[in-house]
Structure 1
Amino acid sequence: MLNDAVCFKNVYIVTGYTDLRFGIDSLAALIKSKLGKEPLVPDTLYLFCGRRTDRIKGLVWESDGYLLLYKRLEQGNFQWPRSESEVRNLSQQQFRWLMEGLTVTPKRIVKQVEPPEYMG
């Protein structure tokens, strides 16, 4: 479920380090303090990562309460942005990169080009 986020309208990551011992109420309060508003948005996933980058927590508001998700990788690490302490919205592509162990901000992107008119 967590590798494919098509069921979520928005995916946000809380960059920097988060104490993964936090439960639902502490994570919701963290989102509120960083966003300045309540995290009660249906179909929105908030992701957190601790110092050990092999596990993440996710928080989702459903119509009747919160859903807490936890994922631990058996091998490899998540490439989590550490430099800023903010909430960032991810595109579907960036989320896929994160779940595949890649960075959410690639150093280089292959540019698309127009094909030549005549190839001889």
Structure 2
Amino acid sequence: MLEELLQGNQIFLACGSTDFRKAVDGLSAIVSSQFKLDPFSKSIFLFCNKNKDKLKALIWDENGFILIYKRLEKGKFQWPMSPCEARLINQQELRWLLEGLSIDQPKVFRKLHISDVY
């Protein structure tokens, strides 16, 4: 199911912790007012709680919002804690995050653009 939702969507990670009492309306308000992004865009917005063991994903799906909730039974997400920042990540970084790894892998080859080569 997650792979289907990722198709064509940008993935934004809300750095820092989010009050998990917030549901769709509260999370979409954070997206629009704090991050100045459109919650109705073709994007996935990810949020993490203070203990870094719960994750929420907010996705607009043509006629309503989808809210996905994940709770880890053991362990913590390696969540970036820079407050008040929305960070664009790719699908590989999302996989790392969901597997318990940091999205800032120090030895990963980054994709180069032609302008970086010449």
Q: TM-score range by the shorter chain?
A: 0.7 to 0.9
Rounded to whole Å, the distance in 1 between the matches of 2:80 and 2:4 is: 20
Rounded to whole Å, the distance in 2 between the matches of 1:70 and 1:84 is: 21
Q: Is the 8 A contact 1:3 1:99 kept in 2?
A: no
Could you say which residue in structure 1 is the equivalent of 2:114? none
Is 1:101 equivalent to 2:67 in the alignment?
A: no
Q: Which runs of 4+ in 1 moved over 6 A?
A: none
Rounded to whole Å, the distance in 1 between the matches of 2:55 and 2:21 is: 11
**Secondary structure class of the residue paired with 1:21:** coil
How many residue pairs match? The answer is: 110
Residue 107 of structure 1: how far off its partner (Å): 2.8
The more displaced of 28-37 and 12-21 is: 28-37
Q: How does 1:32-43 map to 2 (within 5 A)?
A: 32-42=32-42
Q: How does 1:60-71 map to 2 (within 5 A)?
A: 60-71=59-70
Q: What fraction of aligned residue pairs are identical, expressed as a percent?
A: 37
Q: How does 1:1-120 map to 2 (within 5 A)?
A: 1-2=1-2, 6-7=6-7, 9-42=9-42, 44-109=43-108
Over the aligned positions, Cα root-mean-square deviation in angstroms equals 2.1
Q: Is the 8 A contact 1:18 1:48 kept in 2?
A: yes
Residue 85 of structure 1: how far off its partner (Å): 2.2
Change (3 A) 1:6 1:60: closer
Q: Name the amino acid aligned to 1:34.
A: Q
Unaligned runs of 5+ in 1: 112-120
TM superposition score normalised by structure 2: 0.82
Q: Is the 8 A contact 2:35 2:84 kept in 1?
A: no
Unaligned runs of 5+ in 2: 111-118
Residue 59 of structure 1: how far off its partner (Å): 0.3
Q: Name the amino acid aligned to 1:9.
A: N
Residue 4 of structure 1: how far off its partner (Å): 7.9
Flag the structure with higher helix content. 2
Q: Is the 8 A contact 2:52 2:79 kept in 1?
A: yes
